[in-house]
Structure 1
Amino acid sequence: MTEYVVLITGDPDRWWTSMTEEQRKAGYAEYERFGAELTRRGHKITGGAELHGSSDVKLIPAGGGPATDGPFAETTEQVGGFYQVESDDLDDLLDCCQIIAALGDGIQVRRTVAQDERPGAPQGSQG
């Protein structure tokens, strides 16, 4: 199986600032349906999480330096959550992702780099 990360992008704060409790419940029900559909179709969820809003972001600049608060002002989309999914059928995985894309957030599906695709990296090394 190939491992993918499904990144959910958009305004993660809208779930807490502009949605009613009923809208949030309906949205979370769709995420539950997404997970159930992945399992039903033979995909395997191996990890994932919803992330706190952008007010909790800590940034370390490229090249190092002190951490700062919050996203860059010009950044309109943030990663609000992710799933790690093992799948043998990328097209079907993408079809399943339509369930959560319909909620208004963007979805990125990215294949993770396998160890054998990292020449020169020590065995067992991540990232």
Structure 2
Amino acid sequence: MAKYMLLIFGDPAQWDAMTPDEWKAHDAAHAAFHDAAGARVVSAAQLESPPVATTLRAGSDGGLVLTDGPFLETKEGLGGFYLVDADDLDEVTKLAALLPEVRAAHSAVEIRPVVDHG
């Protein structure tokens, strides 16, 4: 069994504009994903919006530079993640297809295998 990171990207302005009823449906879809994935979900979390992020990188003088916000300028921001155990990409793709972000015009789910160094 391998681990896969499901990275949920979307337009924070679209998420902020959702009505309470839209959030209720959105949360229900995530609950359905959790029900289908069961114990295969290793970890999951919703993240604060990109403007709250802090980026740490090497400065030109060899020191460290701390900046506000994400490193890349993009319309889509990382909104959350799931870390899941799955037998293969086909299994994790079927699970990820349950996430509402897959069908929203402003968002997507990136599936990335986790490297096992052990």
TM-score band, normalised by the shorter chain? 0.7 to 0.9
For residues 36-55 of structure 1, give each alpha carbon's deviation from its aligned partner in whole angstroms, at most 9, with x where no partner exists: 1112xxx6111121100112
Counterpart in the other structure of 1:68:
67
Identity, in percent, stands at 34
Q: Is the 8 A contact 1:51 1:80 kept in 2?
A: yes
Counterpart in the other structure of 2:33:
34
Superposed CA RMSD: 2.0
Q: Structure 2: how far apart are the matches of 1:6 and 1:94?
A: 10
Which consecutive residues of structure 1, in runs of 5 or more, have no partner in the other structure? 117-127
Counterpart in the other structure of 1:7:
7
1:22 is displaced (CA, Å) by 0.8
Are positions 1:113 and 2:107 aligned together? Answer: no
Change (3 A) 1:34 1:109: same
Q: Is the 8 A contact 2:40 2:86 kept in 1?
A: yes
Which consecutive residues of structure 2, in runs of 5 or more, have no partner in the other structure? none
Q: Structure 2: how far apart are the matches of 1:7 and 1:72?
A: 16
1:89 is displaced (CA, Å) by 3.4
Q: What TM-score comes out, normalization by structure 2 length?
A: 0.82
1:13 is displaced (CA, Å) by 4.5
SS at match of 2:22: helix
Could you say which structure has the higher strand fraction? Answer: 2
Q: What TM-score comes out, normalization by structure 1 length?
A: 0.77
The number of residue pairs the alignment matches comes to 112
Change (3 A) 1:80 1:62: farther
Counterpart in the other structure of 2:45:
49
